[in-house]
Chains A and B, each alone.
Chain A
Amino acid sequence: MRSAAATARGATRRVPPDLLRLAPALLVTTLLFGGALLGALKQSVEPPLGGGPSTWSLASWRAVFADPTFLDALWFSIRLAVISSLAAALIALVLATLLRSRGPALKTTFSLPVTVPHLIVAVLAVAWLAPGGIAERALGSLPIGVVHAQSGLGIVLVYVYKETPFLVLLLLSVMGRTLRRREEASAVLGASPSQVLRWVVWPAVRRPLAVGSMIVGAFVLGAFEVPLVLGPNYPPTLATYAYQATQTSPLSGQGKAAASLLVAAAAAIALGLAALALARTEDG
Chain B
Amino acid sequence: MVERRLPRTVGTVAVLLFAAPLAVLVVQAFAEVWRYPALLPQRWGLRGFEVAFEGDQALQATLDSFEVALISTAAAILLAWPAARALARGPARLRTAAIVFLALPLLVPPLATGTGLAEWFIRLGLADTRVGVALAHLTVVLPYVLLVLIPGFNPRLRELEEMAASLGMGPVRRLVSVTLPGIRAVLAAAALLGFLVSWSQYGSSLAVGGGLPMLPLTLLPFVGSDPNVAAALSLLFLAPAVLALLLASRAAREAL
Give the B-binding residues of A (Cβ under 8 A).
Answer: 17-22, 24-26, 28-29, 32-33, 35-43, 102-106, 108-110, 112-113, 115-120, 122-124, 126-128, 132, 134, 136-138, 215, 218-219, 221-225, 228-229, 238-239, 242-243, 257-258, 261-262, 264-265, 268-269, 271-273, 276, 280
Chain B residues, Cβ within 8 Å of A261: 109, 111-112, 115-116
Cβ distance B229 to chain A, nearest Cβ, rounded Å = 11
Q: Is the CB of A136 within 8 A of B37?
A: yes
Cβ distance A237 to chain B, nearest Cβ, rounded Å = 9
Q: Is the CB of A115 within 8 A of B244?
A: yes
List 5 A-B pairs, minimum CB-CB distance, nearest first.
A222-B109, A39-B119, A36-B116, A40-B116, A39-B116
Chain A residues, Cβ within 8 Å of B175: none
Cβ distance A138 to chain B, nearest Cβ, rounded Å = 6
Q: Is the CB of A29 within 8 A of B105?
A: yes
Taking A25-B79, A102-B9, A117-B238 as known contacts, 5 extra A-B pairs with beta carbons closer than 8 A to each other, sorted by chain A number, are A25-B80, A25-B102, A36-B108, A104-B252, A117-B241
Q: Tell me if B13 is interfacial: C-beta within 8 Å of chain A.
A: yes
Contacting A at CB under 8 A, from B186-231, are: 196, 199-200, 202-203, 206, 216, 219-220, 223-224, 227, 230-231
Contacting A at CB under 8 A, from B95-113, are: 96, 98, 100-102, 104-105, 107-113
Q: Is the CB of B111 within 8 A of A109?
A: no
User: Please, which residue of chain B has its CB at the minimum distance from the CB of A30?
Assistant: B101
Contacting A at CB under 8 A, from B146-173, are: 146
Chain A residues, Cβ within 8 Å of B136: 32
Contacting A at CB under 8 A, from B3-24, are: 6-7, 9-10, 13-14, 17-18, 21-22, 24
Q: Is the CB of B203 within 8 A of A269?
A: no
Chain A residues, Cβ within 8 Å of B22: 124
Say whether, besides A18-B86, A22-B83, A124-B21, A105 and B256 are in contact (CB < 8 Å). yes
Chain A residues, Cβ within 8 Å of B227: 126-127
A92-B101 Cα distance, complex, nearest whole Å: 28
User: Please, which residue of chain B has its CB at the minimum distance from the CB of A280?
Assistant: B96
A108-B249 Cα distance, complex, nearest whole Å: 7
Neighbour of A29 across the interface among B102, B199, B206, CB < 8 A: B102
A103-B89 Cα distance, complex, nearest whole Å: 31
Cβ distance B208 to chain A, nearest Cβ, rounded Å = 10
Chain A residues, Cβ within 8 Å of B9: 102, 106
Q: Is the CB of A18 within 8 A of B90?
A: yes
Neighbour of B238 across the interface among A116, A127, A265, CB < 8 A: A116
Q: Tell me if B176 is interfacial: C-beta within 8 Å of chain A.
A: no
Cβ distance A230 to chain B, nearest Cβ, rounded Å = 8
A264-B227 Cα distance, complex, nearest whole Å: 31
Chain A residues, Cβ within 8 Å of B17: 109-110, 112-113
Neighbour of A105 across the interface among B10, B112, B138, B143, CB < 8 A: B10
Q: Is the CB of B83 within 8 A of A21?
A: yes
Cβ distance B105 to chain A, nearest Cβ, rounded Å = 5
Cβ distance A166 to chain B, nearest Cβ, rounded Å = 12
Q: Is the CB of A238 within 8 A of B109?
A: yes
Chain B residues, Cβ within 8 Å of A280: 96
Neighbour of A40 across the interface among B119, B219, B252, CB < 8 A: B119
Say whether, besides A40-B116, A224-B109, A269-B104, A25 and B245 are in contact (CB < 8 Å). no
User: Please, which residue of chain B has its CB at the minimum distance from the CB of A124?
Assistant: B21
Chain A residues, Cβ within 8 Å of B238: 116-117, 120
Chain A residues, Cβ within 8 Å of B62: none
Chain B 82-93 per-residue mask, 1 if CB under 8 angstroms from chain A, else 0: 110111011000
Q: Of residues B24, B36, B115, which shows the largest number of chain A Cβ atoms within 10 Å of its Cβ?
A: B115
Chain A residues, Cβ within 8 Å of B241: 115-117, 120
Chain B residues, Cβ within 8 Å of A112: 14, 17-18, 245, 248
A141-B119 Cα distance, complex, nearest whole Å: 47
Chain A residues, Cβ within 8 Å of B53: none
Neighbour of A222 across the interface among B203, B223, B244, CB < 8 A: B203
A258-B223 Cα distance, complex, nearest whole Å: 27
Chain B residues, Cβ within 8 Å of A32: 105, 113, 117, 135-136, 138-139
Q: Tell me if B179 is interfacial: C-beta within 8 Å of chain A.
A: no
User: Please, which residue of chain B has its CB at the minimum distance from the CB of A222?
Assistant: B109
Q: Is the CB of A218 within 8 A of B203?
A: no
Q: Is the CB of A42 within 8 A of B119?
A: yes
Q: Is the CB of A117 within 8 A of B111?
A: no
Q: Tell me if B118 is interfacial: C-beta within 8 Å of chain A.
A: yes
Chain A residues, Cβ within 8 Å of B251: 108
A42-B216 Cα distance, complex, nearest whole Å: 28
Q: Tell me if B73 is interfacial: C-beta within 8 Å of chain A.
A: no
Chain A residues, Cβ within 8 Å of B237: 117, 119-120
A40-B112 Cα distance, complex, nearest whole Å: 7
